[in-house]
A = this chain, B = another copy of it.
Amino acid sequence: MRIGDVAALAAVSVRALRYYEEQGLLASSRSPSGQRHYAQGAVERVKLIQSLYGAGLSSRTIADLLPCVDAQVSTPESRALLAAERDRIDRQIAELTRTRAKLDAIIEQTSRPNPHCDYTTEPGRVEAST
């Protein structure tokens, strides 16, 4: 596959793929004329990279943990790294859940007309229907 095909299938830009290669996240072989060529797994790998970026990992961190994905083997350091990132994501989910709850509370507050302070209802029409 050429770079444009991978980009289309993984829904990322061509620029992003070159950047991933530059960061050591994605390998490619080269045709005699210098064009990149990708193996089958490339699309899946790019999707994985995207997920990890989306979870807030940096290129550097991803570069550190991808080899152990490839080799299916982990050193003590890589195990620690994997666990640390997993926990980070855990905490991130927890905080997002709290923030969502806050937003829900705001939605609740602002959507429900406020009975004891409802300057939108005219005097003489207090307590109509609940």
Interface residues of A (CB under 8 A from B): 48, 51-52, 54-55, 65, 68-69, 71-74, 78-79, 82-83, 85-86, 89-90, 92-93, 95-100, 102-104, 106-107, 109-111, 114, 117, 120
Contacts and interface: CB of A to CB of B under 8 A. Distances in A.
The DSSP consensus for interface residues of chain A is helix
A106 B107 CA distance: 39
Copies in the complex: 2
A101 B52 CA distance: 11
Contacts of A99: 51-52, 54-55, 89
A83 B107 contact: yes
B72 A110 contact: yes
A78 B107 CA distance: 9
A130 to B, nearest CB: 13
A79 B109 CA distance: 11
A90 B82 contact: no
B51 A102 contact: yes
Given A51-B95, A72-B117, A73-B120, A100 B89 contact: yes
Contacts of A114: 72-73
Nearest to A90: B100
